[in-house]
Amino acid sequence: MSQLQLLKKAIKILKPGHEMVYSTCSILSCENEEIVSKALQGSNAKINPIEFEGKETLPLLPTKIQGTLCVKPTENYEGFFIAKIEKMKF
């Protein structure tokens, strides 16, 4: 099963009003933003921006989806991507 299929299924079974996190150990857009964008199409879900104290100190890479994070690989961090997805209430 592909990452896209897994994420679509996870969104489908997510309860309305609840959140989930999609995260990969990759900084590649094709494994992150492209998958999330396709999975959200036609779904009743949205991105909830990731906010926390100290976020501004992280070595971030630009992302194509506002509210998601992509951490740049450094001597202190491995590169990774995070998106917080909420299923909307009907």
Q: Catalytic amino acids?
A: 25
Distance, in Å, from the CA atom of 35 to the CA atom of 15, rounded to the nearest integer, reads 21
SS3 of 20-43: EEEEECCCCHHHCHHHHHHHHCCC
What are the Cα distances from residue 23, in Å, to 36, 77, 89, 90?
Answer: 10, 15, 23, 26
